[in-house]
Amino acid sequence: MSHYRTNLRDIEFNLFEVFGADDYLGSGPFAAVDGDQARMILSEMERFTRESSWAESFVESDRTPLELSPEGDITIPEGLDRALKDFYEAGWHLMPLPEHLGGYGAPPTIRWAGTELLAGGNATASLWPIGALMGNIVDKIGTEGQKTRFGLPMIERHWGGTMVLTEPDAGSDVGAGTTRATFVEEAGDDDLGAVYHLEGIKRFITSADAQTHENTIHLVLARPEGAGPGTKGLSLFIVPKRHVAADGTVGGRNGVRVSNLEKKMGIKGSATCELSLGQDGEPCVGYLAGNVHEGIAQMFLVIEYARMMVGTKAMATLSTGYLNALDYAKIRVQGADLTQAADKTAPKTEIINHPDVRRMLMEQKAHAEGMRALVMYAGWTQDQAVLAEDDQEEHERWIAREDLLLPLVKGYCSEKAYELLGTSLQVFGGSGYTQDYPIEQYIRDAKIDTLYEGTTAIQALDLLFRKIVRDQGATLTWVADQIRELVKAGSEQDTFATERARLGLALDDAQAHLGSMLTHAMASMDETKRTEVYKAGLHSTDFLHSLAEVVIAWLLLRHAEIAQDRLDADAPNDPLREEDREFYTGKVASARWFVRSALPKVGMRAAKAADEDGSLMDLPAGAF
Ligand code: ST9
């Protein structure tokens, strides 16, 4: 039986009952995919990720080591290789691509729903076929020659692709990178871009090689000679593993090779590589991407997509962790009901009947659905940005909203999923600690999500300084206004009056928390008070959690209102199906639980931020 437990019902609820996607799918920029086609795509994808080689290779991906040859070629396990071939054969790599690249032309919401399924079915496998996505990037930023020579084959011939930023001494601080790019010649008639030779060592490079791929195209940040310091001095280069001739023939090796494979805690079937460029006497040829020196901005097109992928992967993992725990709790018989605990002859009961197990299950359910709501809402803002493409100002407003949500998706989902997967395991008792169940692997595979693509601290600073301070709070104010609208809706007596009131208080608390940090950040503008900024930094990750929880509570309450309407309309002459009745009842319960369980922490964090005296930063290192 597959390890993967999907929740397509909740995905479709978000898409069609909350966002009303049927109204805008099948027309305008999304003419290629209507609502019925979207349902069909997702249901096929669900089957693929749950029942085929994709989920079957989940364990093998973890327990059969990758092999690195002296030439720097990587061999991945047979089952994983099979899964990737099946993935390409089914054409799933085309799903997120635009039509002009042979893709489905699916809107972002559908792409992220698909990403959830792929990552939930086999997180490791989902990190491999990113070449097609990178081909899309080459299509966006490349010269015509680069698009034809590298971008298209990445899609059509299933080549691998990588994002190459990190170096041994340049992780979070990408601008500290020292990989050098020496100018060789201007672009020729083939329009492949100016040619450089690259020299340096890169680290933690995902999916840098596999026998599955005929070729791999690396997108590398390096510093051209004479360029300035920091991220702004970096340029982006297209570096093929093997040279490609004008007729598309793949030829000899370029001077880039995998020189080490990391041994990791999780996602073991995903190659995390050290990449040596120009280190073995063979020059490493790189083509300047798009013939412009805008490396960090170009790379952020990839990073933004990847951050959304990582948050989605984390949510997907918690969702399947929870559903596995739920299945177990329904069949595992242990102990008597708490009301009969003193009676040694009382019948034993399934553990789902124990209060503490219910608490653990509901905590996971509410958060898994809440995170899905957040991911799907971020995807929906991307849909709106596409729909507004003819109105520049409106388009940019939607982009700003999507940008604001991104650190919440990446930062909150990764942290909370990892934390709550521990709760999934706890439901299994000691059995969860064994490899008889998938949870221990889920936990190991999920930890990376708080680390790569920018740690949680980076997401928190991005949220505070780039996404809030930089636009003077305009986008955040828009989100707060949306939330306030729901808080004020309805009457004081209606079903969700208490929840709405609590959401209003939490929003006030989150705003107060932000206010405390901004006061310190503003004070630090004075040269004599630079260290005031520490007091903001001490509370930025807490604020990310609080804002995410307020947004999620708002989304879940919207879900609950829709679900309650469906339940209220349930009548003998037009009855709900039993599974729908249970689903909607569960949605209402999730929202109520989240409001009661998560929102009180928002006030506590605000109080901590208001109380900040900065003394932690004065503590000598030796006192820790
Ligand atoms: C890694 C690999 O971890 C893990 C693999 C995961 C799976 C792979 C999946 C890949 C799929 C990809 C598919 C892509 C397909 C896409 C198709 C769709 C079309 N937003 O603040 P400044 C830019 S890899 C946007 O001064 P510092 C911006 O240009 C390793 N742009 O920063 C800005 O200029 P300006 C991942 C942003 O102090 C410029 O940077 N590593 C954003 O110089 C400078 O900004 C990391 O993630 C943003 N949020 O540098 C690094 N932020 O201001 C983490 C910056 O003029 N570290 N820019 O607009 C950071 O993010 C640091 O904050 C830093 C700081 C490096 C940006």
Top mutation candidate among 293, 453, 463, 469 for ligand 1, by most atoms within 8 Å of CB: 453
The answer to whether residues 26 and 65 belong to one domain is: yes
Query: Could you tell me if residue 152 is inside a domain?
Result: no
DSSP assignment of 406-454 equals HHIIIIIHHHHHHHHHHHHHHHTGGGGGSTTSSHHHHHHHHHGGGTSSS
Q: What is the pLDDT of residues 235-277, one digit of tens each?
A: 999 999 999 999 999 999 999 999 999 999 999 999 999 999 9
Give, using CA atoms, the residue closest to atom 61 of ligand 1: 454
Q: What is the rounded distance in angstroms from the CA atom of residue 112 to the CA atom of residue 100?
A: 20
Pairing of the two strands 180-185 and 160-164: unpaired
Query: Could you tell me if residue 413 is inside a domain?
Result: yes
Angle, helices 355-387 vs 413-427, to 10°: value is 150
Cα-to-centroid distance, 471 and ligand 1 (Å): 18
Q: Ligand 1 atom closest to Cα of 166?
A: 30
Q: Ligand 1 atom closest to Cα of 174?
A: 66
Cα-to-centroid distance, 468 and ligand 1 (Å): 17
Give, using CA atoms, the residue closest to atom 53 of ligand 1: 466
The answer to whether residues 441 and 515 belong to one domain is: no
| Confidence band for 490, pLDDT divided at 50, 70 and 90 | confident
Q: Is the pLDDT of residue 492 over 90?
A: no
Q: What is the pLDDT of residues 179-224, one digit of tens each?
A: 999 999 999 999 999 999 999 999 999 999 999 999 999 999 999 9
The pLDDT of residue 126: 98
Angle at 17 between CA 577 and CA 402, to 5 degrees: 150
| Confidence band for 498, pLDDT divided at 50, 70 and 90 | very high
Domain of 37, CATH number, reads: 1.10.540
Q: Which of 228, 260, 293 is the last residue of a domain?
A: 293
Q: Ligand 1 atom closest to Cα of 133?
A: 15
Residues near ligand 1 with C-beta < 6 Å? 127, 130, 133-134, 136-137, 140, 163, 165-166, 172, 174-175, 206, 230-231, 296-297, 300-306, 309, 452-454, 458, 462, 466
Of 263-267, 415-419, 490-494, the least confident:
490-494
Percentage of residues in the chain having pLDDT higher than 90: 99
Q: Which residues of 144-181 are buried (b: 16+ CB within 10 A; e: fewer)?
A: ebbbbbbbbbbbeebbbbbbbbbbeebbeebbebebbb
Domain of 266, CATH number, reads: 2.40.110.20
What mean pLDDT is predicted for residues 65-79?
Answer: 97
Q: Tokens 């249901």 sit at which residue?
A: 43
Give, using CA atoms, the residue closest to atom 48 of ligand 1: 300
Q: What is the rounded distance in angstroms from the CA atom of residue 520 to the CA atom of residue 543?
A: 14
Q: Which of 363, 453, 549, 561 is the catalytic position? A: 453
Give, using CA atoms, the residue closest to atom 14 of ligand 1: 302
Question: Which amino acid is it at 201?
Answer: I
The answer to whether residues 213 and 249 belong to one domain is: yes
The pLDDT of residue 491: 82
The answer to whether residues 285 and 315 belong to one domain is: no
Q: How many CB atoms lie within 10 A of CB 393?
A: 7
DSSP assignment of 154-178 equals HHHS--EEEEE--BTTBSS-GGG--
Q: Is the pLDDT of residue 493 over 90?
A: no
Top mutation candidate among 162, 300, 469 for ligand 1, by most atoms within 8 Å of CB: 300
The answer to whether residues 442 and 512 belong to one domain is: no
Cα-to-centroid distance, 7 and ligand 1 (Å): 31
Q: Which of 110, 129, 148 is the last residue of a domain?
A: 129
The answer to whether residues 481 and 441 belong to one domain is: no
Cα-to-centroid distance, 454 and ligand 1 (Å): 8
Give the total number of structural domains in the chain.
4
Q: What is the rounded distance in angstroms from the CA atom of residue 201 to the CA atom of residue 259?
A: 9
What mean pLDDT is predicted for residues 82-109?
Answer: 96
Collapsed DSSP state (helix, strand, coil) of residue 198: strand
DSSP assignment of 237-296 equals EEEESEEE-TTS-EEEEPSEEEEEE---SS-TTS-EEEEEES-SSS-EEEEEGGGS--HH
- Tokens found for residue 214: 């005929």
Q: Write down the pTM of the prediction.
A: 0.98
Cα-to-centroid distance, 240 and ligand 1 (Å): 22
Task: Name the residue range of residue 14's domain.
Answer: 1-129
Give, using CA atoms, the residue closest to atom 30 of ligand 1: 453
Query: Could you tell me if residue 582 is inside a domain?
Result: yes
The pLDDT of residue 478: 98
Q: Which of 261, 293, 325 is the last residue of a domain?
A: 293
Give, using CA atoms, the residue closest to atom 59 of ligand 1: 297
Give, using CA atoms, the residue closest to atom 1 of ligand 1: 453
Q: Is the pLDDT of residue 280 over 90?
A: no
Query: Could you tell me if residue 461 is inside a domain?
Result: no
Q: What is the rounded distance in angstroms from the CA atom of residue 302 to the CA atom of residue 162?
A: 10
The answer to whether residues 473 and 615 belong to one domain is: yes
Collapsed DSSP state (helix, strand, coil) of residue 333: strand
For residue 602, which phi and psi values (nearest 5 degrees)?
-65, -40
The answer to whether residues 112 and 223 belong to one domain is: no
Q: What is the pLDDT of residues 532-559, one digit of tens each?
A: 999 999 999 999 999 999 999 999 999 9
Q: Ligand 1 atom closest to Cα of 163?
A: 24
- Name the DSSP letter for residue 576: P
The answer to whether residues 189 and 320 belong to one domain is: no
Query: Could you tell me if residue 137 is inside a domain?
Result: no
Give, using CA atoms, the residue closest to atom 57 of ligand 1: 172
Cα-to-centroid distance, 120 and ligand 1 (Å): 25
Q: What is the pLDDT of residues 306-337, one digit of tens each?
A: 999 999 999 999 999 999 999 999 999 999 99
Q: What is the rounded distance in angstroms from the CA atom of residue 287 to the CA atom of residue 294?
A: 13
The answer to whether residues 271 and 310 belong to one domain is: no
**Bridge-partner residues for 162, per DSSP?**
218
What mean pLDDT is predicted for residues 394-417?
Answer: 98
Cα-to-centroid distance, 458 and ligand 1 (Å): 10
Query: Could you tell me if residue 142 is inside a domain?
Result: no
Q: What is the rounded distance in angstroms from the CA atom of residue 146 to the CA atom of residue 300?
A: 19
Cβ–Cβ under 8 Å, residues 548 and 412: yes
Is 440 labeled as catalytic in the residue annotation? no
Cα-to-centroid distance, 571 and ligand 1 (Å): 52
